[in-house]
């Protein structure tokens, strides 16, 4: 038999040094490229997150900003009127105290008349407007205002636009004193509640 050549390259010690060095160099280049691409991916992801968080409709945001500026201006004008508001509240309380005093005097008079006449003149009937003494009490005045408001035909009015601020209520008919002696507004439909 002929001898078989079974000799390996580099005497079986792996790759030839030039090829091994070339392979290691390519490996290092690949690792450097991988790190660079990883860094680019992180930067791009951070930019995408930032862009996602930013508003998408700038014109809508500008409109809201202008509207908020107008609201701030209106609120500042209300803050400037704080002294006026305090004066109005003081005046309301002053008139309410006179109202309470007069109402108390009227009910005391009717109560004394009821005692003196042995029930012929009734306090409750007089206050309702059904008694012997005709009194224009808060309750009867409100009853008349509510009846008038219920009879009144509702007119439709074309408005030129929506006005800002507090709008008056069409259902408001008057005021009465609450049990605690504070003025309260009365609206149509409140008598059924």
Return the HEC string of the chain: CCCCCCCCHHHHCCCCHHHHHHHHHHHHHHHHHHHHHHHHHHHHHHHHHHHHHCCCCHHHHHHHHHHHHHHHHHHHHHHHCHHHHHHHHHHHHHHHHHHHHHHHHHHHHHHHHHHHCCCCCCHHHHHHCCCCCCCCCHHHHHHHHHHHHHHCCCCCCCCCCCCCCCCCCCCEEEEEECCCCCEEEEECCHHHC
Question: In degrees to the nearest 10, what's the CA dihedral of 84, 87, 89, 94?
Answer: -160
pLDDT surpassing 50 at residue 53: yes
Share of the chain above pLDDT 90, in %: 14
Which one of 34-43, 78-87, 130-139, 181-190 scores highest in mean pLDDT?
34-43
pLDDT of residue 38: 92
Taking the C-alpha atoms of residue 64 and residue 73, their distance in angstroms, rounded to an integer, is 14
C-alpha 180/C-alpha 139 separation (Å) is 16
Q: What's the pLDDT score for residue 156?
A: 44
CA distance 140 to 143: 5
Paired with 58 in beta bridges are none
Pairwise CA distance, residues 116 & 110, whole Å: 10
pTM: 0.47
Q: What is the number of residues in the chain?
A: 193
Name the more confident of 74 and 59. Answer: 74
Q: Please list, in sequence order, all residues whose beta carbon lies within 8 angstroms of the beta carbon of residue 129, skipping any fewer than 6 positions away.
A: 135, 137, 139, 140, 143
Residue 24's pLDDT band, with cuts at 50, 70 and 90, is confident
Every domain of the chain and the residues it spans: 82-133, 136-150+171-193
Give the pLDDT confidence score for residue 119 in this predicted structure: 82
b/e code 140-177 from CB counts within 10 Å (16+ = b): bbbbeebeebeeeeeeeeeeeeeeeeeeeeeeebbbbe
Q: What is the pLDDT of residue 193?
A: 45
């Amino acid at each position: 038999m002929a001898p078989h050549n079974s000799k390996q390259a580099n005497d079986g010690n792996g790759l030839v040094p030039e090829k091994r060095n070339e392979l290691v160099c390519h490996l290092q280049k690949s690792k450097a490229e991988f790190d660079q691409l990883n860094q680019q991916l992180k930067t791009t992801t951070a930019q995408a997150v930032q862009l996602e968080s930013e508003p998408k409709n700038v014109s809508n945001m500008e409109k809201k900003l202008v509207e908020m500026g107008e609201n701030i201006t209106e609120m500042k004008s209300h803050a400037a009127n704080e002294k006026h508001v305090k004066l109005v509240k003081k005046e309301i309380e002053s008139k309410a105290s006179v109202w309470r005093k007069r109402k108390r005097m009227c009910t005391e008079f009717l109560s004394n008349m009821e005692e003196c006449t042995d029930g012929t003149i009734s306090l409750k009937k007089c206050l309702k407007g059904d008694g012997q003494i005709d009194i224009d009490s808060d309750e009867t005045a409100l009853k008349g205002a509510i009846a008038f408001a219920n009879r009144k035909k509702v007119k439709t009015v074309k408005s030129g636009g929506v006005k800002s601020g507090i709008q008056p209520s069409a259902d408001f008919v008057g005021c009465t004193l609450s049990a605690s002696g504070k003025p309260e507004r009365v609206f149509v439909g409140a008598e059924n509640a």
